[in-house]
Structures are given as C-alpha cells and as structure tokens.
Chains A and B, each alone.
Chain A
Amino acid sequence: MLRDRWMSFAFLAPAVLLLGVFLYYPMIGTVIESFYSTSFINPNPAFVGFKQYETVMGKAEFWQVLANSLVWTVCVVALQNVIGFFVAVLLNQALPAQGLVRAVVLLPWVLPGVVVAILWRFMYDPQLGLINSFLISAGLTTEGIAWLADKTTAMGAVILAAVWKGFPFSALIYLAALQSVDREQIEAATIDGAGALRRLRDVVLPAIRNVILVNVVLTTILTFNYFDIVWVLTRGGPQGATDIFPTKIYELGFGQFRFGEAATYGVASIGVLALVAALYVLAQRAGSRRRRPV
C-alpha cells in the first residue's frame, strides 16, 4: 500500500511540476501584478492594493469589454454547437462520397485563425468583398456596407467568422459521439413507435449528454480566450465595439505597456471563467435525474 502511494506520487510529479511552472506560476504572478502599478514611464512597481481594480471597474470601458465578451462567447458557443450538432447528424447519415464530404466540412477548422481572419476580411471588404458584391447584384443594397467598420455590424461579422471556423470542431466531436450511440436502442425506440425527433430527444441526446456538456464547456473557454480572429479582423474596434478580454489585455499590456491594468483585466477574466467552471460542475451534478416509476 505504502509503496503504491509513493509510486503514484512519483507518476504524478511531472504533471504537477509542469502545471505549476507553466500554469500556476504565471497565473499567480498575474494576480500579484494586478496589485502593483507598473507602466512604461514608471518601471518601478509600486504596491497599490485594490486601487487598480477600483480604477478599472470605475470606467465604462471595462463593463463594455465584459458585455462584449459575454455576447461574443454566448453567440459563438451557441451557434457553433447547434450548427455543429446538426451537421454531425447529417454526416451521420449514409451519404455518397462520405469521406470526401467529411473532409470538406472539416476544412475551416484546420486553417490557422489568422488565415481565416484574412479570408473573412476580404469577404467583408466594402468594395471588393464577396458579400457586398452579392448583395449589390441581388439588388438588396446599392453601395457596399463596411461590415467591420460599423459599430452595429462589427460584432455580428466577427461572430460569423468565428462560427465558420469553429463549427467543424463541434461537428467532429458530435459525430464521434453519435456513432457511439447503441444502434439497437434507436431501433427499439423506432419499434416502440418513436419518430425521428422523439428518438433524438429520448435516446440520442441522453446518451451523448456528457459529450455535449464537455463540448460546450470546452468551446466556451476557447471562445472566451479567442484572440487571433478578432484581433486581425477589427483590433477590438470600431470604438471598442468588438473589444473582448484577450484583445483588451493585449492592447493594454503590449500596446500601451500598462501591465498593472492588463493584469487586472486578466484576473477579472479568470474570475468569469471560474464561474463557467462552477456552472459546469453544477450541470454535471444535475445529471442524476430523479428516478420515476413510469
């Protein structure tokens, strides 16, 4: 027993060490940094306690970033998972040239984020963009819309690009989950009289419930921390309309060298993610549904 205990410590040590050095050290460093005021002009960190939090949260800018982040994350995650799920349901049918179709669907996901962003910048271009030339030729508008430069459309445009890149990932995971659902259970439900939607609700969804949960949490965290697409498409603009935590932190830290403030934003974003993790644990607990006699 004792030997086993030491063995398990020995096996765990490398993982703990890696996490400690690469994850917890910088994270704790960020928290400490957020209590100091550091900037380019004032390179000697001065301890200010919670003063920086007061300053940051006192500005409308912070609440704008928080609201943007939530809109962005909720929209991208919802669309990506819903579209991904239905694409997976389609791909799960017997299709002609199945392998080819699956490979084509997966394509957006294997492209680097920067490439996707540049691609969509062309698509959205007011003069040369595919979207505008389509709208004009269809007679829906007379002159090109500057999708990324307009405060009202920029967020939607960025979300669309991110969903386009992200849905194949969700589809792939859902497809694997769908293929693992016991075929005989679905057949039994068919014979019991359940139609396609009912089978989906009563048999398929409960069977892949945990995959859905993990997938939603995973895409939530990835999306919340998304940087490259937003940065390349809009740099958080226009007038902060698409500024989310990662772009704001990058801009504050490496654009304006206000490290203390950047760290404060960083700590706030960790707080938001911790909330998501807590919700996940709660959702998983709720999984043990009440037992009913019929």
Chain B
Amino acid sequence: MKRVLALPYLLWMVVFVILPVFLMIYYSFNDMSGNLTLQNYAEFLSSNYIKMTLNSFWYAFLITVITLIVSYPLALVISRLKHKTFWLLIIIIPTWINILLKTYAFIGILGINGILNSVLEKFGLMKIQLLFSDFAFITVAVYIFIPFMVLPIFNSINGINKNLIWASYDLGASKWEALTKVIIPLSLEGVKSGIQITFIPALSLFMLSRLVAGNKVVTLGTAIEQQFLTNENWGMGSTVGVFLILFMVFVMLVTRTKKESI
C-alpha cells in the first residue's frame, strides 16, 4: 500500500529531477556537433570560467552576508512583537509577487529618471546612475532574499523555550549576554537554513544581473544563459550547470544542520 502511494512521487522525481540531471551530464560531454568530448571540461577549468566561478561565489557571499545582517535583527524583533504572525506576513507578502515585477519596480526606483534620483534632484544634488552597477545588483538581490532568510531564523528563535532566556537572566546575564550566549547559539540551525536558501540560488542569479546590473556582473548563471540562448552551445552550458550543481552540493554539505546529518 505504502509503495503504491509513493509511486507518483517516485515518477515525479525520475521525470523532473533525475532524468534532467542525467541529460545535463550527458550533454556536458558533447561538443557543438554532438561528438563525445572532454573539451567542455577543459575549457571550464581554464582561467576564464574559474574567474567567473570566483565572481559568482563572491557575489553570492556578499548577498548572503548582507541579507543575514539585515534579517537576523529583523527576525529577533518580530519574535518579540505582540502581533508576530501579522508582521511576519508583512515580510512574506513580497514573495508572492513575481521576481521580474519586483525587479522592474527597482528599475523604476533606481533608474536615472527614477524616484530616488528625483528626490536627490530636489535637494539640488546631481543625478547619478544607480542602475547597472554591482551596488544595484546586490541591493535588489538582498531585498529579494530577505523573506527567505527571515523565515527560518524567526522560526528557530520563536521555538526557543522562554524559560531558557529567563534562566539566563536568573543566572545574572544581561539582555546582550542572553542574546549572545543563549539566543544566537540556539538559533544557529535557522541561520544555516537561511544561508542555504540564500546562497545557493544567489550563485546562479542571471535575470537580475541582466536587468539591474547591466553586464557588469557576470556570474555562472549568466554564463549558462549565454551558452544556451546566445551561443547555442548546449554542451558548454551543461558543463557549467554540472559544476554549479557540484558547488551547491558542496555548500549544502558545509551548511547542513544537525538533523540532516546522519
């Protein structure tokens, strides 16, 4: 009976996860005319792609760190509020809006004729081009990832037994010591999930870099897009994809939480 019920999920996994991954691995060993080759891998390991990889990691790292710096205090404050579910909802609602729409909204805000610049103009300051810079890229990415980071952190802070915090006060801890010695250590699992959920997609952002960063930020995500859509070199695109998956597995292993490690 159990097996029968598991069948649809198994089928789903095979068709939408396992098969595509194998297809991708297969393509990564093909050159443009369909012959088996290791050429793509050789090219990836050449300096150009390595630089791109480092670039991707660097941006993903920046995005994750800034998102964390914003989200942790936010989650902490929400967990202390009276109507916490309401405020959490306020944070989550933007995730219901399509990423593209949000990105275009930022173009409206940051653009040369956007809201921010008209405010600057009012104060008699120069107009500056905020768009098409890594600043814009990181700002928008951080904005998009904040809810995904806040949610797991909020959940783990909220799950901390109130008596533990009282016990720390009881033993003489100040609010700051209670935070650093009890709350933060006990919410690390949430932080790890938040990092996973941010860092991994941030490695392969491509739409954002195209739209907000111009072509200033080149990451593995943009490389894949370019190989598939512009160069029509599926082999090379797949190779980059394979590496991306390897990196993601690596990141997941590094940030795995206690419960996941068996």
| A and B together in one complex | no
B residues with CB within 8 A of A: none
A residues with CB within 8 A of B: none
